[in-house]
């Protein structure tokens, strides 16, 4: 047993100490893999409240992520939560082309999108000389090899600013880990400290000629230009029905170092996702002796949502009517922490039986 007695520990090439030791026996460490460093929710693609597969675009499967495509003529695809995943992961987001696009016209494009909430971006210090770099890391598996563009866009607040970089898939049908560091934006008016959208991340899958050709946004923040949005994208995912694209392990962290993916439990990820979207199964309740045409019931939500959500029915709702369940369509009025469910124009209403509603407060 021996004791190493030093005042600090520093890499031979570094200019500052990694660990500083104090005289009281404590130490201070400059750690990059701190807890809660991943700004991305559901980066391991575990949570899919809406469903696991869809042939439509938009928010149909995995929470917080969605895929969309624009101005196309023939292409058809399936987006899904897949169990094909790299080491340390069990799920991924899969885009599978089922019908190819004959030609990629100038105005056609496709991406997977993720939106960061503005108040979660304040640590980035944008629009100041202290603007911080961020590092995006992720695993991809693609049938096609070649270059893909990734864009960060700061749209809703102040000036529309954008930065684009690329990564290369080197081997077909093989999981590869990619890392991109984006510098901080020292201009552009910053990001409002509120519950709106902060930064949009676009993982491009195809981009017509309108969206490539300008280097104005390449590896540098500048005012948005459409021809710089996907600059460097050479792969066209829509070119063949053989094509597919998987992604998982998405992590965005402050600084220029890509640390190991920060795994969170399913319960933690689900709760984080529910800030933006949640489903609620109506609990049974029975009001004995009440035969009303109206039923009102307020339920507390498991998490406080980002904004007052939009309510919709996911599965058929029923109410008690003379001992049996009768179908009805509720009016759903969510606030951020509760939801009022109303059954109107009922016959002998005595309570709710079942049914599932969704509250959508996504960005």
Partner 1 sequence: MIITKAKLAKDVLTNEVTHVNLTIDNVIYNVPFDEANRHYQAYLLWVAEGNTAEAAD
Name all contacts of 207-210 with Cβ < 8 Å and 24+ positions apart: 207/109, 207/110, 207/149, 207/233, 208/71, 208/104, 208/105, 208/106, 208/107, 208/108, 208/109, 209/106, 210/106, 210/107, 210/109
Does residue 298 touch partner 1 according to CB under 8 A? no
Query: If binding is defined by CB under 8 A, does position 278 make contact with partner 1?
Result: no
Is residue 355 a contact point for partner 1 (CB under 8 A)?
no
Nearest CA among 13, 47, 10 for reference residue 279: 47
DSSP-derived pairing of the beta strands 53-54 and 92-99 = unpaired
82 beta partners: 92
Nearer to partner 1, 161 or 306 (CB): 306
The yes or no reply on residue 313 touching partner 1 (CB under 8 A) is yes
Which of 70, 266, 286, 294: binder of partner 1 (CB under 8 A)?
A: 294
- Which stretches does DSSP call E strand in 208-294? 222-223, 244-254, 277-281, 285-286
342 binds partner 1 (CB under 8 A): yes
292 touching partner 1, by CB under 8 A: no
Instruction: Note whether 71 binds partner 1 by CB under 8 A.
Output: no
CB neighbours of residue 24 within 10 Å: 6
Closer CB to partner 1, residue 58 or residue 283?
Answer: 58
291 vs 331 by CB, closer to partner 1? 331
- Does residue 332 bind partner 1 (CB under 8 A)? yes
312 binds partner 1 (CB under 8 A): yes
- Does 272 bind partner 1 (CB under 8 A)? Our answer is no
Q: Does 53 bind partner 1 (CB under 8 A)?
A: no
The binder of partner 1 chosen from 30, 296, 315, 322 (CB under 8 A): 296
Q: Which of 190, 249, 334, 355 binds partner 1 (CB under 8 A)?
A: 334
Q: State yes or no: residue 210 binds partner 1 (CB under 8 A).
A: no
54 binds partner 1 (CB under 8 A): no
To partner 1, the closest distance from the beta carbon of 346 in angstroms equals 12
Of 99, 344, 347, 356, the residue at the interface with partner 1 (CB under 8 A) is 344
> What are phi and psi for residue 159, nearest 5 degrees?
-80, 140
- Nearest distance from residue 196's CB to partner 1, in Å? 6
- Among the candidate windows 134-142, 239-247, 304-312, 316-324, which touches partner 1 by CB under 8 A? 304-312
For partner 1, give the closer residue by CB, 242 or 337: 337
Q: In what order do the strands lie in the sheet with 92-99?
A: 53-54, 76-82, 92-99, 244-254, 134-142, 176-182
**Residue holding tokens 């004791």?**
3
Residue 196 interacting with partner 1 (CB under 8 A): yes
Concatenate the DSSP letters of all residues of 107-166 into one string.
Answer: T-EEEEEEEEEGGGSGGG-TTSTT---EEEEEEEEESS-EEEEEEEEE-SSSS-EEEEEE
- Considering only the stretches 9-17, 163-171, 255-263, 305-313, report the one whose residues sit in contact with partner 1 under the rule CB under 8 A: 305-313
Burial 29-41 (b: 16+ CB within 10 A, else e): eeebeeeebbbbb
* Binding footprint of partner 1, residue count (CB under 8 A): 26
User: Where does this chain bind partner 1 (CB under 8 A)?
Assistant: 56, 58, 195-196, 294, 296, 306-313, 329, 331-335, 342, 344, 360-363
């Amino acid at each position: 047993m021996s004791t190493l007695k030093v005042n600090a520990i520093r890499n031979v090439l570094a200019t500052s100490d990694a660990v500083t030791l104090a005289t009281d026996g404590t130490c201070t460490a400059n750690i990059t893999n701190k807890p809660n460093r991943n700004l991305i929710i559901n980066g391991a693609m575990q949570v899919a409240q809406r469903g696991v597969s869809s042939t439509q675009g938009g928010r149909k499967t995995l929470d917080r992520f969605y895929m969309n495509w624009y101005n196309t003529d023939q292409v058809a695809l399936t987006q899904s939560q897949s169990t094909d995943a790299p080491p340390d992961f069990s799920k991924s987001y899969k885009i599978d082309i089922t019908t190819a696009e004959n030609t990629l016209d100038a105005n056609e494009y496709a991406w997977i999108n993720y939106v960061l909430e503005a108040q979660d971006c304040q640590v980035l210090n944008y629009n100041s000389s202290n603007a911080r770099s961020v590092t995006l890391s992720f695993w991809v598996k693609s049938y096609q090899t070649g270059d893909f563009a990734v864009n960060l866009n700061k749209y809703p607040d102040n000036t529309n600013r954008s930065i684009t970089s690329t990564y290369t898939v080197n081997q077909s049908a093989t999981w590869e880990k990619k890392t991109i560091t984006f510098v901080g934006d020292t201009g552009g008016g910053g990001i409002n400290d509120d519950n709106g959208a902060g930064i949009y991340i676009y993982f491009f899958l195809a981009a017509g000629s309108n969206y490539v050709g300008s280097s104005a946004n390449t590896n540098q923040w500048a005012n948005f230009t459409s021809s710089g949005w996907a600059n460097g994208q050479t792969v066209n995912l829509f070119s063949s029905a053989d094509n597919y694209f998987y992604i998982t392990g998405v992590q965005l962290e402050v600084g220029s170092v890509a640390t190991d993916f920060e795994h969170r439990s399913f319960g933690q990820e689900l709760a984080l996702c529910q800030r933006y979207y949640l489903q609620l199964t109506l609990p049974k309740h029975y009001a004995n002796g009440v035969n009303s045409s109206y039923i009102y019931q307020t339920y507390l939500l498991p998490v406080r949502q980002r904004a007052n959500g939009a309510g919709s029915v996911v599965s058929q709702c029923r109410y008690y009517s003379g001992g049996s369940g009768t179908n009805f369509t509720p009016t759903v009025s969510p606030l951020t922490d509760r939801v009022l469910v109303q059954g109107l124009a009922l016959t002998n209403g005595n309570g709710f039986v079942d049914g599932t509603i969704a509250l959508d407060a996504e960005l």
